[in-house]
């Protein structure tokens, strides 16, 4: 992104954003409520247009080459639009990401089913293939939605607050999946309110509050003085022998 600004109505929600992500890497985006974090991802996906600036993802313009771009990425939104009125099974939800990349008729092939089952296995949900999606717990549903994004083997994965509501086992499974994706050369952007549990895998941290406040290596960014303009109540703590910062979101 270069000098990108976005308006929603008359309100500027992102102001003069410039940054670059080298692949492969995991970038953690943090910032208070209303900082524009979800808008940032939607911008990269071509779902929101800027009124100023330049955006390229994998060398593609997300606003004119969106169809091609969406075939290369996976996205797990904060709130998904899976209909609870339609009695979908877990396997059908996991296949959605693959089938949306196909032309009509969208009929899954053996390799598609294998990929969807493998993705569910990564998240510990392989035994739920024939289970009704709407009968799962919230954490289980989120694991299935993550598997849906993984099944199509994306080059870039965008995750919007996926750790919220996951139990410790689910968090560990997801961390293992993200670690594997990084090792396989994938790039991942994760939005979270806090640094844990993803910080151990993070290559770069982007602190956003409508504009970029800090962007860099975790060692450089995790500095109380640098973060106090965004998080006035930031506090350093020792956790399992590591120095960590509790951000203290002010819910701006």
pLDDT tens track for 144-169: 999 999 999 999 999 999 998 788 88
Write out the two tokens for 60. 């593609």
pLDDT tens string 169-210: 889 989 999 999 999 999 999 999 888 889 889 999 999 999
Q: Is the pLDDT of residue 36 over 90?
A: yes
Residue 240 lies in a domain: yes
Kindly indicate the confidence band of residue 100, based on its pLDDT and cuts at 50, 70 and 90.
confident
The arithmetic mean of pLDDT across residues 34-55, rounded, is: 94
Q: Give exposure, 94-127, as e/b (b: 16+ Cβ within 10 Å).
A: bbbbbbeeeeeeeebeeebbebbbebbebbbbbe
Residues 94 and 161 both lie in one domain: no
Query: Which residues is 191 bridged to in the sheet?
Result: 29, 160
Q: Is the per-residue pLDDT at 249 higher than 80? A: no
For the entire predicted model, the pTM comes to: 0.89
Beta-bridge partners for 158: 75, 189
64 and 176 part of one domain: yes
Q: What percent of the chain has pLDDT over 70?
A: 92
Residue 232 lies in a domain: yes
Taking residues 111-129, what's their average pLDDT?
95
Domain end marker among 139, 154, 169: 154
Answer yes or no: do 150 and 160 share one domain: no
Does residue 78 belong to any structural domain of this protein? no
Domain that holds residue 168: 1-72+155-252
Q: What is residue 219's predicted lDDT score, i.e. its pLDDT?
A: 86
Average pLDDT across the chain, whole number? 88
Of the three residues 111, 133, 154, the one that is the final residue of a domain is 154
**Residue 193 falls inside a structural domain:** yes
- Whether 170 and 251 share a structural domain: yes
Residue with tokens 């035994």: 127
170 with 250, same domain?
yes
Q: What is the mean pLDDT of residues 219-233?
A: 81
Checking if the pLDDT of 74 tops 90, the result is: yes
Tell whether 87 and 204 lie within a shared domain: no
Q: How many domains does the chain have?
A: 2
- Looking at per-residue pLDDT, the higher value among 236 and 35 belongs to 35
Do 248 and 160 lie in one domain? The reply is yes
Identify whether the C-beta of residue 32 lies closer than 8 Å to the C-beta of residue 251.
Answer: yes
Domain boundary among 154, 184, 203: 154
Indicate whether 49 and 149 sit together in one domain.
no
Domain match, 58 and 160 both: yes
| Number of residues assigned to the chain | 252
């Amino acid at each position: 992104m270069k000098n990108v600004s976005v308006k929603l109505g008359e309100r500027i929600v992102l102001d003069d954003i410039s940054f670059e992500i080298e692949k492969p890497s995991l970038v953690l985006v943090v910032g208070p409520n209303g900082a524009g974090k979800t808008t940032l991802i939607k911008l990269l996906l071509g779902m929101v247009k800027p009124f100023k600036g330049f955006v390229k993802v994998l060398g593609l313009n997300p606003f004119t080459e969106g169809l091609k771009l969406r075939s290369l990425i996976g996205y797990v939104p904060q709130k998904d639009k899976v209909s609870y009125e339609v009695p979908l099974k877990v396997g059908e939800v996991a296949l959605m990401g693959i089938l949306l990349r196909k032309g009509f008729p969208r009929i899954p092939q053996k390799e598609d089913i294998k990929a969807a089952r493998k993705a569910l296995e990564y998240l510990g949900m392989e035994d739920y293939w024939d289970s009704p999606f709407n009968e799962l717990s919230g954490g289980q549903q989120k694991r299935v939605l993550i598997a849906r994004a993984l099944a199509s083997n994306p080059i870039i994965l965008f995750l919007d607050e996926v750790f919220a509501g996951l139990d410790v086992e689910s968090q560990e499974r997801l961390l293992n999946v993200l670690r594997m994706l990084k090792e396989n050369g994938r790039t991942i952007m994760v939005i979270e309110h806090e640094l844990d549990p993803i910080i151990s895998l993070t290559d770069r941290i982007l602190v956003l509050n409508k504009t970029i406040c800090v962007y860099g290596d975790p060692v450089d960014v995790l500095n109380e003085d640098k973060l106090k303009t965004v998080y006035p109540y930031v506090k350093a703590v020792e956790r399992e022998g590591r120095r960590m910062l509790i951000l203290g979101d002010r819910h701006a």
